[in-house]
Amino acid sequence: MRHAVFSGDGRIEIGESGWPVAAPAEVLLRVLACSLCGSDLRPLRNGWPVTPGHEIVGRVDQPGHRLHGQRCLVYIPVWCGQCEQCAGGHTQLCENATDLIGWQRAGGYAEALAVPEQCLLPVPDDVPTHLAPLLLDTIGTAAHGVRLSQALVPAGRALILGAGPIGLGALLVLQQFGYAPVAVFDPNEYRRRVAGELGAVALDSVDGRGRYPLVLECSGKDAARQAALEAVAARGVVIQLGEADAWQVNETKAIRRKDFYYVRSFYFPIAEYPMNIELLRADMARFERLVDARVPLDGLQELFAQFARGERLKPQLSLAPHDRGDIR
């Protein structure tokens, strides 16, 4: 089968290998689509030992298995079901999930991969294939962060820093949860414009200290973390969704002299998947706006270049554009 090799310095080569072998309690999944993610840019720069790609939808190809022929998403953490976190329903926090799919084990920039059974999330028939990956990082991660914060700040004005896929996904999620108005800041003009089209107050600078009861940091940039901590209102919440290796924040007066909550949220528990499907169903046409390019394996290198320049929102590798369930 063909698969992408991230060989460093932004290079993607297409390799050939044998079909993956599903171990006991795993299935072979034929990839239909795999969405690009900002977190892939680090493996793209540094090179990566396994096939990356972690926002995967595919079709189970495992004759005899109860899910054979079914479209499924891939839940990234290989959770154990035994530890204290799993027992409490917090599957994304599994203490034994050393492997993340697309990170420590082979992911979805390939024609197929082997997936542990407990990581298969069946996709309902009415959800088009190309929109299904939005249920993972874009909707799942954003909605989980908001759910964690809802008890503290149930309504009101919100600010999103960073209008990449997570930020724009968070915008659509916040609107459904009833927050308004939602302001969005991004230095990138294209992303800002899309945020405006989707109903946000688009900002070209962050206005006002202590003004927002709810702030979502979706960029992973130090400057945005600093701005988030200053922009949050007293007794408000900062939700940290963006990720990066290093942090540097200065404790200014605008940060020091107030009570506020800082919520870090990682991915989402499997138990929230049905609710996330409802969020997608309720606003499918606008979520569709985020999937702004679909290319075959040979187009991945160029697509990543466009994505890294901020010219694409949530593009995807699409290996079977005419597969059943894909209405476009």
Provide the minimum distance between the beta carbon of 95 and Zn ion in the complex, in angstroms, as a whole number. 5
Q: Is 105 helix (H, G, I), strand (E, B) or coil?
A: strand
CA distances (Å), 23 to each of 20, 116, 206, in order? Answer: 9, 8, 50
When asked if residue 137 is in the footprint of Zn ion (CB under 5 A), the reply is: yes
Stretch that binds Zn ion, among 3-11, 131-139, 201-209, 213-221 (CB under 5 A): 131-139
Cα(22)–Cα(219) distance, integer angstroms: 36
Question: Whose Cβ is closer to Zn ion: residue 261's or residue 266's?
Answer: 266
Question: Tokens at residue 116, please?
Answer: 């542990």
Name the residue whose CB lies closest to Zn ion: 37
Stretch that binds Zn ion, among 7-15, 36-44, 179-187, 194-202 (CB under 5 A): 36-44
Provide the minimum distance between the beta carbon of 74 and Zn ion in the complex, in angstroms, as a whole number. 11
Binding footprint of Zn ion, residue count (CB under 5 A): 8
Contact 195, 163 (CB under 8 A): yes
Question: Whose Cβ is closer to Zn ion: residue 31's or residue 86's?
Answer: 86
When asked if residue 290 is in the footprint of Zn ion (CB under 5 A), the reply is: no
When asked if residue 80 is in the footprint of Zn ion (CB under 5 A), the reply is: yes
Question: Whose Cβ is closer to Zn ion: residue 121's or residue 231's?
Answer: 121
Cα(161)–Cα(168) distance, integer angstroms: 10
When asked if residue 134 is in the footprint of Zn ion (CB under 5 A), the reply is: no
Question: Whose Cβ is closer to Zn ion: residue 160's or residue 232's?
Answer: 160
Q: Which member of 12, 37, 195, 241 binds Zn ion (CB under 5 A)?
A: 37
Question: Whose Cβ is closer to Zn ion: residue 212's or residue 267's?
Answer: 267
CA distances (Å), 192 to each of 11, 66, 184, 239, in order? Answer: 29, 44, 7, 20
Over the Cα atoms of the chain, what is R_g?
19
Provide the minimum distance between the beta carbon of 165 and Zn ion in the complex, in angstroms, as a whole number. 8
Cα(193)–Cα(204) distance, integer angstroms: 10
Question: Whose Cβ is closer to Zn ion: residue 83's or residue 284's?
Answer: 83
Residue type (1 letter), 191: R
Provide the minimum distance between the beta carbon of 76 and Zn ion in the complex, in angstroms, as a whole number. 8
Cα(166)–Cα(142) distance, integer angstroms: 7
When asked if residue 244 is in the footprint of Zn ion (CB under 5 A), the reply is: no
Question: Whose Cβ is closer to Zn ion: residue 110's or residue 229's?
Answer: 110
Question: Tokens at residue 151, please?
Answer: 């008890």
Stretch that binds Zn ion, among 78-86, 106-114, 188-196, 320-328 (CB under 5 A): 78-86
Cα(253)–Cα(289) distance, integer angstroms: 40
Instruction: For residue 51, report the phi and psi dihedrals to the nearest 5 degrees.
Output: -65, 120
Question: Whose Cβ is closer to Zn ion: residue 137's or residue 323's?
Answer: 137
Provide the minimum distance between the beta carbon of 151 and Zn ion in the complex, in angstroms, as a whole number. 25
Q: For the chain, where are the E strands, in sequence order?
A: 2-8, 11-16, 26-35, 56-60, 71-74, 112-116, 120-122, 158-161, 182-185, 201-203, 212-217, 232-240, 260-264, 294-295, 316-318
82-111 residues near Zn ion, rule: CB under 5 A:
83, 86, 94, 96
166-195 residues near Zn ion, rule: CB under 5 A:
none
Binding site for Zn ion (CB under 5 A): 37, 79-80, 83, 86, 94, 96, 137
